[in-house]
Amino acid sequence: MSLRDGLQPFPSVRQAYERLIERGEVTRDLAQEKIAKRLDRLVEELANKRLAAKSSALGWLFARRREPKAPVKGLYIHGAVGRGKTMLMDLFFELVPVNRKRRVHFNDFMAEVHDRIGRHRTALKAGEVKGDDPIPPVARALAGEAWVLCFDEFSVTDIADAMILSRLFSALFEEGVVLVATSNVAPQKLYHNGLNRPLFEPFIAILARHADVMSLDSDTDYRLEKLNRLPVYLTPLDEETGEAFEAAWRDYANGAAEQAEEVAVKGRSIKVPRATRDAARFTFEELCGRPLGARDYLAIAARFQTLFVESVPVFDDAMRNEAKRFILLIDTLYDKRMRLIASAAAQPQALYRGRTGTTESFEFERTASRLIEMQSRDWPDGKAEEAGVREAGHDA
């Protein structure tokens, strides 16, 4: 949820949350209310810190010495997928009265950090900067741009990230940065069984000193409930299907901002033309009409949890390469238990019309089966015993 597009700013996260309940956009949840209360306390502490920073400029007028205040402690919210973590953080981000604030997906932030480190080392070789350690200047630059950092989907899977987190965040916290983060796992389970994990573990202690850890242990997966109300496979490709696909995208975004993104893959990037929250939207041509491979689809799956794919065609012998990529894409989404919402020219069993007996024809049988299974209301948590295809103009 967002305070944009229809919701006016409220003085507290709790009041904004109550307004969403009144509008029927969320259901009251005691665990969410507890998080909202803690976020309100953080809003107040950050507002006081901002005012204190402004008034300190006039401190020379007064003879009294002031005792230094303890740093503001941030918040790390963890819980299963779909519990409302991101919704609550977004309400906080909209309301916190700080100009230098930033909300970013954690993987994107770390990719930026590595880029900045690389640029510092290049400048060092050219004699443009001093200091062999790039972490302090990078942290100072980041803190100068935003001293309230909100991270969505805090996770650590890359050894390059794991090895610098302790030093990076120690430097950020020394610069006065306050962290608010959402994650699917508790801090102790970050980088679980990762290579050289003992070198990462000091970060967990650093995080505990600078952020309260709270679990959002609601029993209801609200995102899954919402997805279950959406048509997930729309056919045929006509005006009515196009309108239904647009409506599904708007319904999923629910007022959240939409933007273009890039996903980094081994020194290059995949352009994501439309993204909102944890969902990405592509046309079939953008995903399968271009020379993308397994590594690309895995990178997209690592960044997003729901994929909207528009205008999947019927495949004939002239589209063998596109068919192979589509098979690989669906295999990746299936293995990663991702949600897929697609518009297509035909039902899954009728999408492949190339020659029988080919490798693609055999593999597409599996693809069709998986497309049907991924339409189940039990997906991605269970297996589908029976699933139907929604045709535009007919009930799901």
In a domain, 367, yes or no: yes
| 79-130 pLDDT, tens digit each | 876 788 988 999 999 999 999 999 998 888 998 999 999 999 999 998 888 8
Q: Do residues 382 and 363 share a domain?
A: yes
Q: How many structural domains does the chain have?
A: 2
**Average predicted confidence (pLDDT) for the chain:** 84
Query: Any idea what the Cα angle at residue 117 is, between residues 113 and 120, rounded to 5°?
Result: 140
Q: Do residues 268 and 296 share a domain?
A: yes
| Identity of residue 101 | K
Residue 6 tokens, joined: 């229809």
In a domain, 3, yes or no: no
CB 388 within 8 A of CB 375: yes
Write down the pLDDT at residue 167.
95
Q: Do residues 159 and 41 share a domain?
A: yes
How many Å apart are CA 210 and CA 171, to the nearest integer? 12
Write down the pLDDT at residue 222.
61
In a domain, 318, yes or no: yes
Q: Do residues 260 and 208 share a domain?
A: no
Per-residue model confidence as pLDDT tens for the chain (396 residues): 444 444 444 579 999 999 989 988 788 889 999 999 999 999 999 988 877 766 655 554 444 444 445 789 999 999 876 788 988 999 999 999 999 999 998 888 998 999 999 999 999 998 888 888 999 999 999 999 999 999 988 988 788 889 999 999 999 999 999 999 998 889 998 988 888 899 999 999 999 999 999 998 765 656 555 555 567 899 999 999 999 999 999 888 877 788 999 998 877 889 999 998 889 999 999 999 999 988 899 999 989 999 999 999 999 989 989 999 999 999 999 888 899 999 999 999 999 998 877 777 778 888 998 898 888 766 775 433 333 344 444 333
Q: Which domain holds residue 57?
A: 13-215
CA 75 vs CA 53, 89, 98, 109, 293: distances in Å: 21, 10, 16, 18, 38
Write down the pLDDT at residue 256.
79
Q: Do residues 164 and 268 share a domain?
A: no
| 79-92 pLDDT, tens digit each | 876 788 988 999 99
Write down the pLDDT at residue 68.
46
| Identity of residue 356 | T
Write down the pLDDT at residue 231.
74
Helices 359-373 and 320-335 meet at what angle, rounded to 10?
Answer: 40
In a domain, 180, yes or no: yes
CB 330 within 8 A of CB 343: no
Write down the pLDDT at residue 12.
92
CATH code of residue 98: 3.40.50.300
CATH code of residue 377: 3.40.50
Write down the pLDDT at residue 26.
82
Q: Do residues 254 and 157 share a domain?
A: no
